[in-house]
Amino acid sequence: MGQHWKKIWVGSAGNMVEWFDWFVYASFATYFAGSFFPAGNDTAKLMNTAGIFAVGFFMRPVGGWLLGRVGDRKGRKAALTLTVTLMSASAVLIAVAPTYAVAGYGGVAVLLVARLLQGLSVGGEYAASATYLTEASAPGRRGFASSFQYVSMTAGQILGLGLQIVLQHTLSSGELHSWGWRIPFVVGALGAAVIFYLRRNMLETEAYTEATEEATEESARAAAERGTIRALMRHKREAFLVVALTMGGTVAYYTYTTYLTKYLSNSAGLPKQTATLVSFCALLVFACLQPLAGALSDRIGRRPLLITFAVGSTFLTVPIMTMLKHAGSFWPALGLSLLALVVVTGYTSINACVKAELFPTGIRSLGVALPYAVANALFGGTAEYVALWFKNGGIESGFYWYVAGCAAVSLVVYLTMRETRDIDLKRVGGAPEGAPAEAGKVPAS
């Protein structure tokens, strides 16, 4: 048990720093948007920074492919170490990026390169950590263990928001807009350096080690095809499932986490400090819910939680977002935000292990990484930009229906997919690695 917890801790701590760096871009965008673009409409500036945020997501499929391949061929440890290196470099670039007044659009170019590096990093981080946490967990506890992925992701955002609250109370608005927004990126770069050291000494999972030895003994061809697109194509149905079941969850997640602070400030009219505090408190409760829901899935299965999320998101998104816009103060906004995040927990707490449980060990990292990154590029990364596009067009409520519609699509998938709770991670796929497997062959519970 001690070794299991050590692996979960190291994987989660690194994930936390990765997502701290990823999310502080979004949470501090309201302060640095004016630094990189000429004077003009505030919503237009936010759309520009959101567009660069979205570009990072479009690099995630590339990162998912490259780092997923590394994870399946060189090990989960190698992939996790490389992701945090890329994230540290990107944080440094943002911290030192020149403003529009100093370098014109040169600062935007630096910002864009940094986001491309972050996209590569996070594109591999999700799958590497999802696979690592799932494989490192004790039998019958995969839902609980893998839930710490979103605990750590949310913890990274909480730390970012907490630092934002501290800076809001210690620096003036002018100082925050001028140079204070650079502080979190410096902190992120330093944190990534610490995690790099921890990950260099982390333990590889037994599932990966055993599968590597077996593949080597079977044939050189089996070993050579680990982590390749050719091997992934034998599991096309599972890859499609990852895209489809991610669609509704990622849009809802980014709506109520990344975009929430801006929505409360830019649309609901709450002061920035109040909007930040609402997000901070809601995310704190949200993080605590993840292990509870993950443990519940180990008892009743993954599908009931996924279906509950999809039904709730389909029918509650429009009324929740509408009421949030007219919340007016801290407590109503917090209550509605918590309701939304409780619903989203049905997806976030277990989606990592569900995806990992669909693939055999030799293609698990790439199998999760690439289709998940594609889904995030199409739906998660664009969520904030789509929301601001609807707002700028004067039909903000259209975004609420968009979120609900994405959840409805995922609901169909959840209702028709098989249960994955009781599958054997070393045998999922129904065939030796390197040999064709029957598409979608996942034992029913």
**pLDDT digits 0-9 by tens, 216-244:** 555 566 667 788 899 999 999 999 999 99
d(CA 210, CA 198): 23
Higher-confidence residue of 211 and 395: namely: 395
Of the pLDDT bands very low, low, confident and very high (cuts 50, 70, 90), residue 157 is confident
- Predicted confidence band of residue 43 (pLDDT cuts 50, 70, 90): low
- Predicted local confidence at residue 226, as pLDDT: 81
pLDDT value, residue 430 = 40
The answer to whether 97 and 114 have CB atoms below 8 angstroms apart is yes
From the list 348, 185, 325, the residue with the least C-alpha distance to 265 is: 325
Q: Given a cut of 60, is residue 47 above it in pLDDT?
A: yes
* Residues 361 and 227: beta-carbon distance below 8 Å: no
pLDDT score recorded for residue 218: 55
In 10 A of CB 70, how many CB atoms? Answer: 23
- Return d(Cα 322, Cα 181) in angstroms, integer: 31
- How far apart (Å, rounded) are the C-alpha atoms in residues 254 and 60? 15
Pick 65 or 2 by higher pLDDT: 65
The reported pLDDT for the residue numbered 437 is 38
66-70, 219-223, 304-308: the lowest-pLDDT one: 219-223
- Annotate 171-181 with b (16+ C-beta within 10 A) or e (fewer): beeeebbbebb
Q: So what's the pLDDT on residue 434? A: 38
pLDDT at 438 over 70: no
The confidence band for 125, taking pLDDT boundaries of 50, 70 and 90, is confident
Tell me 204's DSSP state. Answer: P
pLDDT, mean over the chain: 86
The pTM score is: 0.83
Q: What is the DSSP string of 404-420?
A: HHHHHHHHHHHHHSPP-
pLDDT tens for 82-92 read 998 898 899 99
Work out the angle at residue 98's Cα, subtended by the Cα atoms of residues 97 and 102, and round it to the nearest 5 degrees: 175
More confident residue, 27 or 113: 113
Question: How does residue 44 score in pLDDT terms, banded at 50, 70 and 90?
Answer: low
At 331, the pLDDT band (50, 70, 90 cuts) reads: very high
User: How confident is the model over 84-107, as a mean pLDDT?
Assistant: 86
pLDDT score of 12: 78
pLDDT of residue 351 exceeding 50: yes
Region 112-139: mean pLDDT is 86
Query: Given this model, what pLDDT does residue 416 score?
Result: 95
pLDDT of 431 > 50? The answer is: no
Q: Is the pLDDT of residue 257 over 50?
A: yes
**pLDDT score of 197:** 85
- Residue 39 burial by Cβ neighbours in a 10 Å radius (0-12, 13-18, 19+): exposed
CA dihedral 138→143→146→148, nearest 10 degrees, is: -110
Compute the average pLDDT of residues 9-25.
Answer: 80
